[in-house]
C-alpha cells in the first residue's frame, strides 16, 4: 500500500496480498477486508530539521517531499517496517531485537558476516578438515545436514530496550516484552529447527514465493523463546531485557541431495582453500507484538 499526495488530493494506491487476491477470485461475495498493515519503509526520519530557517512549518518538509514506494505484492520486499499502535504516551524507548553473537552459546557471524549452513555430511566433514582448528566448525557455522542441525550452536537473538539510561535490572513493561516471534525462511533452502531437540519447528504457512513462516512463543516453544533472566545475566541488550530467541537451520532435502538449486540461483566460492557451491539468502525474524524485524544473512554451502 502507498499514499500519493498530488496537489492536495490524497490518493490511496492499494494492492491485495496473494491470499486476498485468491479470495477475491472466488467471486462468491465472501471477500471482506478484515486486516491491513501500514509501514514507513521509505521514510528517513533523520531528515527532520528542527532548525529550519523558515520556521516550524518547514521542519518536516524534506520528509514530506520524499518519494514513496509504489504499492507492490512481493511480501519479501515490502512492509519491512510496520507501524504499531501503543496507547501509552510515556514511552521514551522502543524495544529492539539484536543478534546476541557475543553472549552465551550463540553462534557469532563468520568473518564475512554470514551464518554458514553446511547442507550435508560430506560438506561438514570437508569443512571441519579445512578449518582451524582442524575438526571444528568455528563461529557462525551450523551443521545443517539432516542429522546434525541440533549439534551446532544456535542462532540467538535478544530483545529489549537497548539503552544505558534505564537499568537492565528494571523489569521491561509487559506491552514491550516480545513473547512471540515469526521466523520467515525460503522453504526451498532450509527449515527452522529447535536447537535443543533437533526437531523441525511447525510451519504456520508457506506462500507462493516459497517463504515459510514459523510461529514460536514462550507458551508454544519454550525451548526456543525464554525470558533473558532465565538463561543468564549477560545480554546484548543494555537496558531492560525481554526475551531471547534461539533457533537453528537445517538444509532442505533438495540442497542436501542435489546441486540443482545451486546451479539455478547459486555460485561457486572458495573458503579456506576449498571450493563450495553457495547460495546466499536471508532469514527474517519479526516480533509479533512490536513488529520489529531483523534480517539474518545466510550462506548455504555444499562441497563442489
C-alpha torsion sign, points 105, 109, 110, 116: positive
105 and 233 share one domain: yes
231 and 173 share one domain: yes
Q: Which of 93-97, 120-124, 145-149 has the lowest mean pLDDT?
A: 145-149
* Cα angle value 91/238/152 (rounded, 5°): 120
Alpha-carbon distance of 5 to 12, in angstroms, equals 9
Residue 76 covered by a domain: no
Residue 90 covered by a domain: no
Tell me the sheet residues that pair with 116: 141, 299
Alpha-carbon distance of 171 to 152, in angstroms, equals 32
156 and 210 share one domain: yes
Residue 91 covered by a domain: no
- pLDDT at position 75 over 70: no
Name the domain count of the chain: 2
What is residue 34's predicted lDDT score, i.e. its pLDDT?
Answer: 78
Determine the structural domain holding residue 272 and report its residue range. 96-303
What is residue 146's predicted lDDT score, i.e. its pLDDT?
Answer: 64
C-alpha torsion sign, points 85, 97, 168, 220: positive
224 or 131, higher pLDDT: 224
- pLDDT at position 285 over 70: yes
Model's pTM, two decimal places? 0.81
Residue 111 covered by a domain: yes
Cβ-Cβ contacts under 8 Å for 66 (sequence gap 6 or more): 42, 43, 44, 47
Alpha-carbon distance values, 43 to 142, 284, 289 (Å) = 36, 21, 22
* pLDDT per residue as tens digits for the range 163-217: 989 988 899 998 899 999 999 999 999 999 998 888 889 999 888 889 999 999 9
Residue 70 covered by a domain: no
* pLDDT per residue as tens digits for the range 231-282: 656 788 889 999 999 999 999 999 999 999 999 999 999 988 899 999 999 9
131 and 9 share one domain: no
214 or 109, higher pLDDT: 214
29 and 167 share one domain: no
44 and 114 share one domain: no
What average pLDDT score do residues 216-236 get? 84
Give the confidence band of 5 by pLDDT, cuts at 50, 70, 90.
low
Amino acid at each position: 500500500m502507498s499514499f500519493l499526495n498530488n496537489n492536495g488530493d490524497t490518493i490511496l494506491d492499494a494492492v491485495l496480498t496473494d491470499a486476498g487476491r485468491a479470495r477475491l477470485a472466488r467471486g462468491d461475495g465472501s471477500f471482506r477486508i478484515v486486516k491491513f498493515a501500514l509501514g514507513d519503509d521509505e521514510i528517513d526520519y533523520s531528515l527532520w530539521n528542527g532548525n529550519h530557517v523558515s520556521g516550524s512549518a518547514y521542519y518536516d518538509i524534506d520528509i514530506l517531499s520524499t518519494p514513496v514506494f509504489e504499492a507492490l505484492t512481493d511480501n519479501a520486499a515490502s512492509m519491512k517496517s510496520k507501524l504499531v499502535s501503543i496507547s501509552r504516551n510515556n514511552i521514551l524507548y522502543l524495544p529492539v531485537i539484536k543478534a546476541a553473537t557475543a553472549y552465551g552459546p550463540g553462534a557469532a557471524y563468520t568473518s564475512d558476516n554470514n551464518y554458514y549452513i553446511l547442507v550435508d555430511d560430506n560438506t561438514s566433514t570437508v569443512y571441519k578438515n579445512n578449518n582451524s582448528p582442524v575438526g571444528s566448525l568455528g563461529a557462525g557455522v551450523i551443521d545443517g545436514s539432516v542429522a546434525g542441525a541440533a549439534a551446532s550452536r544456535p542462532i540467538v537473538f535478544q530483545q529489549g530496550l537497548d539503552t544505558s539510561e534505564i537499568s537492565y535490572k528494571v523489569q521491561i513493561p509487559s506491552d514491550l516484552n516480545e513473547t512471540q516471534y515469526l521466523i520467515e525462511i525460503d522453504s526451498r533452502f532450509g527449515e527452522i529447527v529447535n536447537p535443543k531437540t533437533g526437531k523441525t519447528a511447525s510451519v504456520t504457512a508457506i506462500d507462493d514465493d516459497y517463504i515459510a513462516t514459523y510461529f514460536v512463543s514462550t507458551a508454544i516453544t519454550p525451548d526456543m523463546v525464554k525470558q533473558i533472566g532465565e538463561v543468564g545475566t549477560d545480554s546484548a541488550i543494555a537496558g531492560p531485557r525481554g526475551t531471547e530467541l534461539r533457533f537453528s537451520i537445517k538444509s532442505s532435502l533438495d540442497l542436501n541431495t542435489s546441486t540443482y538449486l545451486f546451479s539455478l540461483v547459486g555460485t561457486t566460492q572458495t573458503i579456506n582453500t576449498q571450493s563450495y557451491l553457495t547460495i546466499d539468502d536471508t532469514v527474517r525474524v519479526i516480533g509479533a507484538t512490536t513488529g520489529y524485524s531483523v534480517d539474518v544473512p545466510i550462506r548455504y554451502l555444499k562441497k563442489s
